[in-house]
Structure 1
Amino acid sequence: MNLLRVNLTKQTICTDEIDDEFSCFIGGRGLATALFADEVKPDVKPLHSDNKLIFTTGALTGSSIPFSARHNVTSISPLTNTIFSSNAGGNFGCELARTGYRAVIIEGRASSPVYLYIGENMGDEPAELRDAAHLWGADVFEATVRLTKECRVHFRNTAVIGIAGEHQVYFANIMTQMHRAFGRGGLGAVMGNKNLKAVVASGGNMIPAGRYTDIDAGLWKKVVDSMTGLKYLGTSSILDVANSNQALPTRNYSATTYKDAGKIDGEALRKHTINVNTCHSCLVACKRVTQSKKYNIITEGPEYETLMALGSNLCVNSLDDIIKSNYLCNKYGLDTISTGAAVAGLIEASEKNRTKYKIAWGDYDGVHKLIEMIAKREGIGAELAEGAAAFAQKHDVPYYTVKGLDFPGHDCRGLAGQGLSYAVSNRGADHLYSMEYMEEYGSPERTIITGKAKRVVYNENRNAVLDSMALCKFSVRFYTMDDYLKILSKITGSMEEKDMQMLGASIVEMERRFNCKRGFDKKDDVLPKIMKPSGFEEELKSYYRLRGWAKNGCPE
């Protein structure tokens, strides 16, 4: 496997072979974590030139296997201060895979704005850094269009930051093909701190298809034959389920059901849906292309998490207005969950007269204004750009985070096992780290935490391997463990379930060791008081025992 190393400070680019000690982690999150932990000192600050960004593809990225479009970026998050891996769908990962590099390591800081072009017809050079002064200040949409013309590529070949990344907002995204995101932890701010506006990948290498021909037909049939709300409504199908399970965050997480859920759910969104979109090698097509005639906007999304964060959690019950909020976050390159959480904190502070800035619940015009202010760090937006927790602590209002990461749309007051998963996740309150919520929705034991540590460990290990292959985690709705083992055996040789679990556990433990060296331990594996289920502390101890970690939550 090859890697590309880009030093922005020295303006140098070189290629190298990935050592065998790292290749055992396959690719994606596992490979990036191993490389990052080996190269970056644990005391590095997120917004410092010594922090690195590592883009990785998985062994399956761009292959014929269904759900194989995912790709990964790893760095230290300015929002959580932890090692943070974020992955995206779409097609950029496939284009990066076609350059022949499994990993792209970006280090240092450019003295002025640049973008990285990786492509064919480069002569003796594998890639080059190009001036991006003319792109700096452009939003995601503008920058993407300019790059496609300048580099003669498609939208799918681009990964860019918007003005939120340039202003180093702590929850700025890296956006691919305009509307897909490396979301949550603010890695767009790291990219902005490095004066790196974009990465353009345009390789000519063919991705070998023959390796999987004896198994991919059966997997495709499973996807085609399966009935799921993801096909019919996309992720918006989850909203009614969350609401009926008392797990839909509402009014700055103060409630778990929303009386106007029917106005913003999947069926309501159908009236605004004009098309569907998908990722490479996926027939599920869970992405909805929506239109707001009120604002004359066409965009991709909103996803369920956005309907929660910019809808129920702000008491905004109009899809036109949520669609516009989603559009603005994509335009500026902002994470919708953290944006919604920050704005919710401001609204509560305004309600309690703890800030001079005035905004009420349901004030969609005010929300739209604030999104731009956050992206530009203007006025109160400069405070919100530091994250919901920092703002709330300053203004003495409640906040709902783990390790600085805002809670997503699967409230642990209705899903107790998911609460344990949020607390122990190395990324903070991340619903995709174990996806325990998928086991709990509709279960009569969903509010009981006792005995769920074992399943959280199992799912965390499984998902770490999926992130390394890299497969979309929605594949768990279609594939069996036997399916995963057949795929893995094509990559690594014979693979049994215990081997997959051991590999996943080693990735989770690498992340945990790095975080512990940064000062994280049991004190950070916590839930807000109002969200903590009975029996939490005992189940946390059980989790540590199952992991083989010390009582302080760190590996021995």
Structure 2
Amino acid sequence: MRKIAGDILHVDLTTGKVWREPISKERLLMYIGCRGINAELLWKHVKPNTDPLGPDNVIIFGTGLLTGTASPSSGRTTVTCLSPATNFYLKTNGGGYWGGELKYAGYGHVVVHGKADKPVYIWIDDDNVEIRDASKYWGMDVRTLDKAIKEDIGDEEVQVASIGPAGENLVRFASVMFSIYNAAGRGGAGAVMGSKNLKAIVVRGSGSISPANPKLFHERVKAAKESLKSDSGYEGMGLYGTSGSLYGINELKVFPSYNFQRSAADDITPYTGQNFTNGGYLKRKVGCYSCIIGCHRYSTADKGSFAGAYTGGPEYETMSACGSGCGISDTNAVIKMNELIDIYGMDTISAGSVVQWAMECYQRGVIDIDDLDGIDLRWGNAEAAVEMIRKVAFREGFGDILAEGVKRASEKVGGDSYKWAVHGKGLEQSRVDTRSAKAYALAFAVNPRGADHLHTETFAEFGMGPDAREVIKKITGDENLANPYLTEKRAEIVRWHEDCYAATDCLGFCSFTSTALYGITPEIMAGLFSAAIGVDVSEEELMEIGRRIVTLEKCFNVRQGATRKDDTLPWRLMNEPTPDRPDADDAVNSQEELDGMLDKYYTLHGWDKETSWPTEEVLRMLDLDYVAEELKEMNIAIK
């Protein structure tokens, strides 16, 4: 019987050394597991001035503490490293079955050090761990690789975490792919694997795991399932996936189009989950490990010039990044773009973002068709967008510039192109127009990995159901504050959600269970955590662990040189009001508005408002003394 947390497996690709590190109960009470222990390991093993694509960066895979159990939708894996996109902290998260298989092999975390001198993959077969030659697999796309490795090992059930050509070519937003369609996409973790000549980590586990108090644990699992099923959005999420809410999102003017030149689509229907389900594109629903929702899609393009394409999804973010963001309403084309992005191993948000940024550059005459190798990259040209996706993955022609991300691409191209390079800290913004969603605006600004929702998902501010309004009432005392156009109490909403999200990640839950649906509450999470490790942990104590993790992640960026000026939003959203809300005075993210929310947010944390840095008092209160001491040794003046 395996320990529920598993051990930490270290693999040094430079020396070939492999070793195990146990996880104490005291460490679990400090960080829970997964994202929390990942952050602690990153602080320890990656120091300032490390090259994100050099051998001194590490890449850390952490499974949820509850991954491998019957807890509903708890099969997530967090990947952590120094981001090649931002040079700041990166945690990115993927689903599928890889994390459960790793737990059954006896490990909760894998830390990869160094760099191999040739392409390799790591083979984990319970206690047997090998670094194997992967030269024959180098250059394969993710779909081809997954099939080839399983055939060579002779086991269709092994789980594969891999990179495609984009990771090999060090595209700064290359993803780590679990199986074929589950991506740890944001921030370029796939490029870090590529820089280490690491093609894949392949896992087979034959053990089982048990919580400290099995009877109580399974009683609480049953209650968690019933709570999740009772959420008002549960059925719709299963039926229509992440795009099921698009009609409401579009009505609120939060759905970006044409590279955020607009915040709504004229015809939202082609992008909706309802269209996928009812229009025949959806062939089956797919669930990740232990999931009872099944929001993941498997879709095909059956007609038109892209007939024959098939892929997982597309999800909400892809429908905006590759659909409305590029002016493409052909659902078949979006399926094709998503297929290529997955098998080449890229982040769908960033890949779509660089294409639409280039489309706007083309629209405004900053680049011409000769710069684009003869590609007519006008808005809505699906064939051109598909070809540009391929060129980015292989760094061909103008694709080589786009492979650097919109921040670096705009610096290369020049002119005013930085104004429509929609990113935060160097990470392309996920597809929420923050000019009409003020809690998201604050959350995106302070997110240590950049302008993105999957660190502090504040979906409840839209107030789209009774469960969401109840969450806002719990946080603020007033359900009427479930209004995305308001700035009141946004700091409180963000602070609560970031602690909740950290606990969600650490336990391995999908964020759709706690911050997009709300059935898995902090109280339920605390109960499951307590039964899992055999120590009573209250809801308040669980949320404080979340706060500790968020603070540690912030301090990693402080050590990297981050200050308050880095907690900002893209130029366009700070300077150009959305034309889709012409009568609204606040249809922009002004500096004055953002500063007011930041001041309140830092105050709630107990951080210094001038620098945004956590104070020594707060660090010691959170038992992060080792962080305080190191920052003081570096002459970083935490007050």
Give 5+ residue unaligned stretches, structure 2: 1-5, 465-480, 576-587, 616-639
Cα distance in 2 between the residues matched to 1:42 and 1:152: 43
Q: How does 1:58-457 map to 2 (within 5 A)?
A: 58-120=64-126, 126-154=128-156, 157-208=159-210, 210=214, 212-228=217-233, 229-270=236-277, 271=279, 272-294=281-303, 295-356=307-368, 357=372, 358-395=376-413, 396-397=416-417, 398-442=420-464, 445-457=483-495
Deviations 1:28-49 (A, max 9, x none): 1001101110122122121010
Residue range with higher mean Cα deviation, 199-208 or 435-444: 435-444
**3-state SS, counterpart of residue 494 of structure 2:** helix
Cα distance in 2 between the residues matched to 1:380 and 1:38: 38
| 2:409 partner letter | F
Cα distance in 2 between the residues matched to 1:296 and 1:165: 25
Q: How does 1:7-18 map to 2 (within 5 A)?
A: 7-18=12-23
Contact 1:324 1:368 in 2 (8 A): yes
Shift in Å at residue 19 of structure 1?
Answer: 5.4
| 1:421 partner letter | A
Cα distance in 2 between the residues matched to 1:268 and 1:111: 48
Q: 2:538 aligns with which of 477, 481, 496?
A: 496
Cα distance in 1 between the residues matched to 2:120 and 2:109: 20
Q: 1:2 aligns with which of 4, 7, 17?
A: 7
CA RMSD of aligned residues (A): 1.6
**3-state SS, counterpart of residue 412 of structure 2:** helix
| 2:602 partner letter | Y
- 2:479 paired with 1:479: no
| 2:513 partner letter | S
Q: 1:532 aligns with which of 573, 585, 589?
A: 589
Cα distance in 1 between the residues matched to 2:487 and 2:494: 11
Contact 2:173 2:191 in 1 (8 A): yes
Cα distance in 2 between the residues matched to 1:137 and 1:85: 26
Q: 2:605 aligns with which of 544, 547, 552?
A: 547
Q: How many residues align?
A: 552
Shift in Å at residue 425 of structure 1?
Answer: 0.8
Shift in Å at residue 147 of structure 1?
Answer: 0.8
| 2:62 partner letter | T
Change over 3 Å in CA distance of 1:497–1:110 after alignment to 2:
same
Shift in Å at residue 67 of structure 1?
Answer: 1.3
Cα distance in 2 between the residues matched to 1:503 and 1:222: 23
Cα distance in 2 between the residues matched to 1:146 and 1:162: 13
| 2:589 partner letter | K
Residue range with higher mean Cα deviation, 424-433 or 480-489: 480-489
Contact 1:91 1:156 in 2 (8 A): no
Cα distance in 2 between the residues matched to 1:224 and 1:419: 30
Contact 1:431 1:437 in 2 (8 A): no
Cα distance in 2 between the residues matched to 1:334 and 1:155: 24
**3-state SS, counterpart of residue 263 of structure 1:** helix
Q: Sequence identity, in percent?
A: 33
| 2:593 partner letter | G
Residue range with higher mean Cα deviation, 442-451 or 273-282: 442-451
Shift in Å at residue 16 of structure 1?
Answer: 2.5
**3-state SS, counterpart of residue 365 of structure 1:** helix
Deviations 1:196-247 (A, max 9, x none): 0000010111122635222122222233444422111010113222211100
Cα distance in 2 between the residues matched to 1:180 and 1:445: 32
Give 5+ residue unaligned stretches, structure 1: none
Contact 1:513 1:555 in 2 (8 A): yes
Shift in Å at residue 70 of structure 1?
Answer: 0.7
Contact 1:417 1:440 in 2 (8 A): no
**3-state SS, counterpart of residue 440 of structure 2:** helix
